[in-house]
Structures are given as structure tokens and as C-alpha cells.
Structure 1
Amino acid sequence: MKPRTIPTFPSHAIILLVIALFLGSCRTEPIATYSAEKRGEYAHAAVVSGHPLASQVGNDILEKGGNAVDAAVAVQFALAVVYPRAGNLGGGGFLVYRSNDGSTDALDYREKAPAAASRDMYLDSLANPVDGLSTKGHLAAGVPGTVAGLAAAHERYGKLTWEDLVQPAIELAENGFSISETEADRLNGFQEAFLAFNTNECPFIKELWQTGDLLIQSDLAASLKRIKAKKAAGFYQGETADLIVKEMQSGNGMITAEDLANYEPTWRQAITGNYDDYKIISMPPSSSGGVALLQMLGMVENAPLNEYGFHSTAATHLMVEAERRAYADRSEYLGDSDFYPVPLDSLIDENYLQYRMDDFQPDSASTSDHLTAGNFVNRKESFETTHTSIVDAEGNAVSLTTTLNSNFGCKVVVDGAGFFLNNEMDDFSIKPGTPNQFGLLGAEANAIQPGKRMLSSMTPTIIEKDGQLFMILGAPGGSTIITAVFQVFINVAEFGMPLDSAVFAPRFHHQWLPDQIWVEPTALGEEVKSELSAMGHQFRDVNRMAVIKAIQRLPDGSYLAVGDPRNPDDDVSGH
């Protein structure tokens, strides 16, 4: 083992948005915070999600004897109610699972392009992208995968009845919940967009939302009841499907009854790799997260990062250059592996990753306009998102990330059904070489095709150490998700930080293009920034990046759950 240099960070800073099961009891912390941490006492099962009410639902399911998958399903349905800007019935996501015997699985329930979609559908007569066409309104929506994915996860791994898992969300929708000040501000800020695509019957349209207002969603409750009664068929067929199709027809959207009936999630083999004595288990394409994460880790594994020191010039430069190369490969090679021959084995091959770093210069920055995707012999082998990490008392673990893409997706609420639709079509390469709303480029691998899943940055991840469960983590945060997961793990594994310090520590991010290091406040000292500038690096200051939700298994077998304070709300985290 390498010696570890441990920086000083507050080891017991406030842990936001955590509900954990501690020997059958919970404690409420200030600012709607739930934690089992009790200053030195740790949980034997834990739930971390994007909203305390949803985490409470997950905790209740664990207390009833449900397992991690049961809790994850119940949390996701609850988030569809209490976290409408990202929690959803009208979006999609990814789930990575590790059972207590070490076996793993991965479920891809990413949205799909409708059958009527075409490669150039968002381009004008001059082949230029039409502003807003892939991000706002009915045409921006892909076929939702959330309900089908949750049903598939429960069918394979669930323990409690389906009805038990959906009922808490129904009650939240029927009874309503009080919104926070920032939730009120957000709803007020989107009124113009809501009015542009919805009728006044939309439950989110109101002259003025105020702190403490009760958000009741009767139509959504009815949709959830149909799902409770008929599982996935209660969404993809029957009344809810009819309402979706009617909504599409009213706004010139593309999703048809056939698109809904034909949607199926896909079980995939989790992508895995090693870093020192850790095993990384993450999501394969159509997510780019697992591949890019393993690439970054492989590029820095042999360097003495802990000797360089946390956010030193040498460590930051090396990690940025690894990030730059991984995102360059992402733009060229990654897409839905059901439609494009993603060279998966080659991209994470040790020799290839060494080759990618052959032109690394310790004293100068690469330039992204000259650094492109790597070449190899093919060996044939979003921004409004929410993440949930769960471990149950038996040690089964779930890392799950789901999304609508932008805040409130495409801003369309299905009339009579009560949920927002996604705007995930923007995650395709609507024109190769043209960035999406997060500045990410793509090529042929991610071009639009009917039935194809769009590429994602979501990175739900589970980590083992010495064969034992060690960490569960993931995040919302668009293009910054992958680098956040990368840096939090490195903070623990290389810099010896406790998990809360690793999550709270400020971060940097590079995604190849634009050729900038995005820097959170206080992430890099002035001397380090000056030295990096002299190497040729450029900077862009940002307030915050991805919002990590993580759980760590401690040496005594208990769990520490941490919610990220990068948080636009007083009581919920997001983006």
C-alpha cells in the first residue's frame, strides 16, 4: 500500500439529505437533515437521496424488511412526487447492483428515441441546429424508461410486494407536501416556460408560489395508482399511455402508443476494473460514466498522487490531463452499444491507457484542439438528475441515477397524468461536432436513430476493497458527474480523507472541450493556479458542480452516509 497524506478537513461537517437506519431508529438533524451519524455512531443500513421525504420512504421500506432494491424503487417513486424537477415517471436512468455475495448487475432504463426520430430532425434547411428544438417542448422528449426499469428491478430482486413500494408515493401526491423557499423560487422562475407548453390545469402553474405552500398532485396520484395496480403496463398501456399520446399530438411530439408499448429496459453486465486493491463496478454504455471513470483511474494509477498532495500543482495537472483524454474518447467512441460497436475492451485496456498518456508532459498542458480521441486496433469484443445510494442490513447495495436532463425536462406536463417529460433527445449528437447544452461533443456513435438510447454521463458506482463492499456513490451534475465520482474516490483512496471530507472538498473539472479547467471556489490555491497557468491551462470559475450521494462501509462493518452540501436548496440537493 502507498503511504497516505491526509489533509485537514472538518470530519463532522453537517451531512445533508441523509436518512440512515440505525438499529431501527432515526434522528432528525437541523435543516431537514436526517442522519444516523449521531457524532460517532454509524448505521447498519443507509439511504441517501435527493430529498429527505424520499429518503424517509426508503428508510421505512428497510425497516419493514425490504431490501436495497425495494428501497430504491420506493425512493424513486417518491422522488417523482417530491422532486419534480428531476425525480420522474417521464425520464429514465441506470441502476448498478451488488449483492452481499459479491455478484453484480446493471440495468439500463435510459430513454429511447421514438420510431419517428431521424438523424437531422433538429437541423434547419442549412443543416444548423434550431435553437431550443431539442431542449424545450414536446419534440425534445424521448420514450420514458423509469417505470419499466423500476418494475424490472423489482421483478428480479425485490422482496416486498410492488404495492408496498408504490403506495408511499401515492400518499405524498394525494396529501401534498410543503415546499421550501428555494423550491418556491424555482417554481416561480419557471412559470413562463410552464405556461408556454401547458394549460392552466397544470399543478405547477400558480400566480405566486410561497414557502410552505402545499403541492398536491392529484393527476400524478392517479397515474401512480394505475402503476400500483398494473406495474409497467399501468404506464405503457391503457389510460396513462393514452394521455401521453394525446399530449404528444397536441404539441407535435413524436412518441406514439407503439413506442410506449415497445419500450423495454435492458440488463447489462456491469463494467469493472481495478485500482490498487479496489474493484470499481460501474455502468456500461449507454452510459459513458463507467468507461470514462475507469479510463481516468487507469491513467493516474501508477503516479504517486498521495506524494504530490491534495490539489497540488502536480496532482491537479495529472488528473486534468487524464480527464481531458477520457472526454476526448467519450466524444468519439461512446454511444448505445445496441446500435454502435463500442470498443469497450480497448478503451479500458491497460496498454491503451498507457499509450494515451505517452504524450503527457509534467510541465505543460496539452491543447484540446490538437488532442483528439486515441487510436487503437479494435479488438471486437444529463443536467437535471438525481442520485440515490442504498445499502441494506444484509449488505446488498444499489447505486441508481435517474434524470429528466434539464430542470423539469422539456417543461411539458402530461395533461391529466401529472408528470413532466424529459428532454433527453438533446443528449444525442444532434449534429456531429456541435456541443449539447452541457458543452459535450459527440460523433457517429451517438447520432440519432429510432429506438436508440442517447449517451449519458450518469455514473452510478459501487466499489469493493479487498473483496468487501467499500463504497456506493454517484451524482447528478451533467458533464461534471464523472469527474466528481473520480475525485471523491481519489480523495479517499489516495489522499486518505474520511468520506465526508472527500465529498465536501472543492473540485475541478475538465471535459476536453471547451479547453478550460472548471474550478469551484477555493478548489485551487492562487499559487497552484498561477503555476498551472504558466503550464498553459486556462480556468473558468463555477459555483458548484456535481452533487455526490455516497455511503462508505467502515472497518467495523457499519456504514457512513454522506449527502453533498453543494446544494441550491436549504433542504434538497440537485442538478
Structure 2
Amino acid sequence: MKLNKTLTVLLAMIFFVACTQPNKSKSENAFKNGVVVTAHFVASEVGNEILQKGGNAFDAAVAVQFALAVVYPRAGNIGGGGFAVIRTAGGETTSLDFREKAPKTASEKMYLDSKGNVIEDLSETGHLAVGVPGSVDGMVNLHKKYGKLNWEDLVQPSVKLAREGVRLSKLEAEKLNAYRERIYKVNANKEGCCYVRKSDFEEGELIVNTELAEVLERIKEEGRSGFYEGETAQLILNEMQKGKGLISKEDLLQYESVWRPTINGKYRDCKIISMPPPSSGGIALIQLLKGAEKFNFSQYEFGSFEHIHLMVELERRVYADRATWLGDPDYCCVPCEKLLSNEYLDERFSDISLEKKSDSQDIKAGNVEIIESFETTHFSVVDRWGNAIAITTTLNGNYGSKVIVAGGGFFLNNEMDDFSIKPGVPNQYGLVGGTANAIQPEKRMLSSMTPTIIERNGKLFMLTGSPGGSTIITSVFQNVINAIEFEMSPQECVNAARVHSQWLPDKIYAEKDLLTDSVRNQLIKAGHKIADQSRIGMMANISVKPGEIRIGAADTLRHKDSKASGY
């Protein structure tokens, strides 16, 4: 009798606990209608509100882009550029290139001294590092083609955020403090700006940016001309004149974003839809995936010697190709078809050994016989109709060139550093390049940004992308592998530790907790050099499961402010 009474009490306690705990069978980030995943919780909420008001994914993307310029100034922007990969509910795909361009007066040797040596920091900091911004034009064109709600309603949330202020998160306060002195040095005469000060920023501090609110108000009322003409354009030109930058009135007036066909590839039972040049991301991603399919990654355990070694060997060959063959297709011949052909890749990967690493000096670029620190940000949106957009946007480095437009309150990019300023000389991410990515007037610089959408059996399956300069491509690659080869859940794909290798420098960069002592020793024995990293990439993924359930997976382990928001 006593035993039965005890059992009854235990069962009652179990029932009580079960009733008061969240339903673990349903992910808190699983939504029936729309979902937005960004690097900042406020921007995610802005996008979600647009979706709930009847806006589509493209409306939400416009609102998020402008909101990030306010709440995430290290990478969110109106003074930078980016790429968008789009898949409509009807299955049509396209991409929008709103990458920055070199000013008309830019020249191939503009960052070299009289002896032909690179002048340190000239392409990274200050006015001469700035490319012609593309973000506003890109958002205008995105809305013009696909938007549903009124333009003014999409920009208004960012106007309100800038005018009323945003509370600094711990993460954003720490980042501003890390760059505070560098920002002050470039903008010492602009102490009225909310980002220019000698004292530290504090968590919870209200940052009001009235100057940026006025700029956003003009964009809201006048669209494209509210940025590239009139008062805002004059503020940019004044800034260029003061700092001896190159952007002219004609550069601003004549900037145009470009609609381009996506780069598509097949991997297992999936269709990969990604960004074409001047992004190197789509071509490199599909090359890597074809290599993974060739070596049948699913036969190996995640994190095993074989898994890591083969990924690195594939990556080093693909990055060698990137350095030689890729650039702005409007200015050079990019052999996309050849680089993605099975014949070429079979030959390219044929000398990979399972026992030892290859020497980067022996790899070089493949013969195709021709006759993107770290601060970028990625966000993904899916609406209730099934429209999907993956956007990666950037100022390049954290806070770009560190130049703030006086009277405008926004940072300008340092995207000129993404050109090959001298063949064989690495940029701030260690990436080298050649003549295909040399500086030319009005040319778009090569990028590593890899916004990607994946179909499985003809249906929307996954959206993915990441910031991280040169690590973007490999981060996206590993997330696709995690989902398809290792069959991880959406959040597991994002959380899994990552590695990176890029041909030069000849190293493996590995996140903590990935390599066991045994695997580390095997890699070293095979000839690899390993450098530990605190984090690689920062994913913002959406997966679509049976029943049209959208699962948002934010990379909160690496970036606590990121969030999936939906309904």
C-alpha cells in the first residue's frame, strides 16, 4: 500500500513537471508562416513585423537592411553593398548584385608607392579605401521588382530606431569599445556624432543617431535620389573632399545594381542556388560540394581525420582557383562553365591523398585554358507564401573604412581592399589575387559572400549564409555538408564547430572543441599546420521541413545578439 502511494506521488510529480515545461517536441524557432534570421534581435523583430503586416520576404529584407544600418553599424549599412539570392514561391530564381564599385578615377596602382610597394593600411582605413556604395540602390531595385508593401512603410522602422535610439547590447558595446580609438582617430572633428567619443560605451546605453535618422527620412521620402542625389549625396561628396577620397557626383549618380542569373549546381538530391561573380562564393561552393560528393563524405564520422583532411585539401585547391580566375564578369572573362565541369574538377581533385597534405606551392591554380574580419552580416527570410531571400551585406572590415559621413551619421565601406592591390599580396583576410581582380575604374571588387538557397526534390529546403571574409565560403560549405551528409538538425548544423583553409596562408584554422587530440595529432603527422580560432563564421539559416514548417537557426553560440523571429 505504501509503495502504491509513493508511486502515485511520483506520477503526479512527473505529470506536473511535464505540464509546466515547454513542449520540447516543437522547436521554439519553428514557425508555420514567416521567419527572419539576422545578426541582431531588433532587426529580426523589424522583419517579422513586416511579414505579419502582410509584407512578403522581399519587403522584410528591405526593412531589415535599413534596420541593421542603425542597430548593427559595424556591418549593417547604407554606405556599403552586398548580394541577394532570391527564390520566389513559384520556383523562379535570380540574384541581385549591389556590390560597391571602384570610383571612376581609381587606378590599378593607387595603393603602391613610387617603388611599387604596397602602402600599409591605405586600402583599409580612410577615405581612399571607400568604394561607391550600392546598398540603397539595391534595396530600391529589390522593392521595385518584388515589393508588396509601400516603400515608406519599409524604411520607417529604421527612421524610428535612429531617431528614438537603440539600447546597446553587451556585445555591441564591447565591439564599439574595441574600435573606439580607431574610429576617433579618423573622425576626431566629428565629436557630435554618436559613434565618435573618447569615453567607453556602456551596455544598456541609449544611442540616438539623429543625423542618420534624417538621411533615412530622405531615403524614405525620395527613394534612390534621397541617397545618391541632393543633400545626402552632398554630405558624401563633402566628406570625400575633406579626406581626399575619390567618389564623385558622377559616381553616385551613375551607380546601378545588377540583376544576374544565379549560379546553380546539383549536389546529391539537392539543387544549389548561389551567387555568381563578382562573388566567388557560388562557384567555390559548388566546386567544394562536387569534391565532397566525389569523396563521399557521409562514409566518415564528423570531425574525423578523413573529414577534416579532405575538406582542407578541397578548400585549398578551390581558393587557388579563386585567386587566379575570378573577378568582375563585366571586366574579365570568368570561365564559370569550365570551373564547374566534372572533367575539370575530376582532374583538379585527382592528386588528393588520404595520407598526407599537399604543398600549397605545388597546387597553384588549375589550368582552365581560357581562349571577401571580418565584418559582414548575413540574413535570411522566408514568408508564408514560400518566397525566400538570402542577403549578405557588408562594409568589409568592422565599421568599414572607419570614416563616418559628417552630418550623415553612417559609416563608409573599405571595400577597395577586396581588389588585388598587387598580384600575390594578401588583403586584410589573407586572400591573394591576380589580374582578374585588379583595380579598374567602375569595376566591382571580388567578394567571398555566399548567400545560398537550396532546393530538395524541387521544394525549398534551406537558406544559408555567413559573414567572415575569406571564411564565408567554407562556413557555408560546412553547413550544407552538415545538413545533407551528416543529417544534422537545423540548429545542429549552425552550432557544429568549423574549420577553414584557403590555400594561402598554408594552415588549418580550427574552432575550439572540434579536433580531438587524436585527430589533431593525425593532421600534424600528415603535414598540416593548425591554428586555433575562437570562432569561424556566423550562420543565419532557415530550413523548411515537411508541412511547410520554417525553422530559423541563429548562431547564438558565436553571436548572442543574433535571433530567429517569426510567426
* TM score, norm. by length of structure 2: 0.93
Q: Which amino acid aligns with 1:327?
A: Y
Q: Give the Cα–Cα distance (whole angstroms) in 2 for the partners of residues 474 and 394 of structure 1.
A: 21
Q: Give the Cα–Cα distance (whole angstroms) in 1 for the partners of residues 556 and 359 of structure 2.
A: 33
Q: Give the Cα–Cα distance (whole angstroms) in 2 for the partners of residues 37 and 400 of structure 1.
A: 27
- The correspondence of residues 207-246 of structure 1 with structure 2, limited to 5 A, is 207-246=199-238
**Residue in 2 aligned with 1:203?**
194
**Residue in 1 aligned with 2:62?**
73
Q: Give the Cα–Cα distance (whole angstroms) in 2 for the partners of residues 432 and 508 of structure 1.
A: 27
Measure how far apart 1:572 and its partner are.
4.4
- Greater mean alpha carbon deviation, residues 304-313 or residues 551-560: 304-313
Q: Give the Cα–Cα distance (whole angstroms) in 2 for the partners of residues 41 and 445 of structure 1.
A: 44
Q: Give the Cα–Cα distance (whole angstroms) in 2 for the partners of residues 71 and 246 of structure 1.
A: 33
Count residues with an aligned counterpart: 537
Structure 1 residue runs without a partner (length 5+): 1-34
- Greater mean alpha carbon deviation, residues 259-268 or residues 195-204: 195-204
**Structure 1 residue 435 corresponds to structure 2 residue 431:** no
Q: Give the Cα–Cα distance (whole angstroms) in 1 for the partners of residues 25 and 414 of structure 2.
A: 36
- Greater mean alpha carbon deviation, residues 534-543 or residues 242-251: 534-543
Q: Give the Cα–Cα distance (whole angstroms) in 1 for the partners of residues 545 and 316 of structure 2.
A: 33
**Residue in 1 aligned with 2:561?**
571
Structure 2 residue runs without a partner (length 5+): 1-23
- The correspondence of residues 25-174 of structure 1 with structure 2, limited to 5 A, is 38-39=27-28, 42-174=31-163
- The correspondence of residues 266-281 of structure 1 with structure 2, limited to 5 A, is 266-281=258-273
Q: Give the Cα–Cα distance (whole angstroms) in 1 for the partners of residues 122 and 29 of structure 2.
A: 51
Measure how far apart 1:208 and its partner are.
2.8
Q: Flag the 1:131–1:231 CA change in 2: closer, same or farther, 3 A.
A: same
> Based on CA coordinates, which of the two structures has the bigger radius of gyration?
2
Which of 392, 396, 399 is the aligned partner of 1:408?
399
Q: Give the Cα–Cα distance (whole angstroms) in 1 for the partners of residues 528 and 146 of structure 2.
A: 47
Contact (CA 8 Å) 1:506, 1:522: kept in 2 or not?
Answer: yes
- CA deviations over 1:19-43 (Å, ceiling 9, x no partner): xxxxxxxxxxxxxxxx996558544
**Structure 1 residue 529 corresponds to structure 2 residue 550:** no
Measure how far apart 1:364 and its partner are.
1.3
Contact (CA 8 Å) 1:139, 1:254: kept in 2 or not?
Answer: yes
- Greater mean alpha carbon deviation, residues 548-557 or residues 142-151: 548-557
Contact (CA 8 Å) 1:544, 1:566: kept in 2 or not?
Answer: no
Higher helix share: 2
**Residue in 2 aligned with 1:557?**
548
Q: Secondary structure at the match of 2:54?
A: coil
Q: Flag the 1:400–1:349 CA change in 2: closer, same or farther, 3 A.
A: same
**Residue in 2 aligned with 1:364?**
356
**Residue in 2 aligned with 1:181?**
170
- CA deviations over 1:103-150 (Å, ceiling 9, x no partner): 101000000000110001001111111111000011100000000000
Which of 329, 336, 358 is the aligned partner of 1:344?
336
- The correspondence of residues 322-333 of structure 1 with structure 2, limited to 5 A, is 322-333=314-325
Q: Give the Cα–Cα distance (whole angstroms) in 2 for the partners of residues 324 and 541 of structure 1.
A: 18
**Residue in 2 aligned with 1:501?**
492
Q: Secondary structure at the match of 1:416?
A: coil
Give every structure 1 segment of 4 or more consecutive aligned residues whose post-TM-superposition deviation is greater than 6 Å.
none
- Cα RMSD between the aligned structures? 1.6
**Residue in 2 aligned with 1:30?**
none
**Residue in 2 aligned with 1:26?**
none
Which of 522, 526, 529 is the aligned partner of 1:538?
529
**Residue in 2 aligned with 1:515?**
506
Q: Give the Cα–Cα distance (whole angstroms) in 2 for the partners of residues 245 and 451 of structure 1.
A: 17
Contact (CA 8 Å) 1:37, 1:560: kept in 2 or not?
Answer: no
Q: Which amino acid aligns with 1:431?
A: K
- CA deviations over 1:85-104 (Å, ceiling 9, x no partner): 10001000000000111110
- The correspondence of residues 361-400 of structure 1 with structure 2, limited to 5 A, is 361-378=353-370, 382=372, 383-400=374-391
Measure how far apart 1:233 and its partner are.
0.9
Q: Give the Cα–Cα distance (whole angstroms) in 2 for the partners of residues 557 and 239 of structure 1.
A: 46
**Structure 1 residue 194 corresponds to structure 2 residue 186:** no
Contact (CA 8 Å) 1:114, 1:143: kept in 2 or not?
Answer: yes
Q: Which amino acid aligns with 2:105?
A: A
Q: Which amino acid aligns with 2:395?
A: L
- CA deviations over 1:422-472 (Å, ceiling 9, x no partner): 000000000010000000000001000000001111000000000000000
Contact (CA 8 Å) 1:547, 1:566: kept in 2 or not?
Answer: no
- CA deviations over 1:328-366 (Å, ceiling 9, x no partner): 000000011110110011011111111101111111111
Aligned-residue sequence identity (percent) comes to 52
Q: Give the Cα–Cα distance (whole angstroms) in 1 for the partners of residues 401 and 210 of structure 2.
A: 21
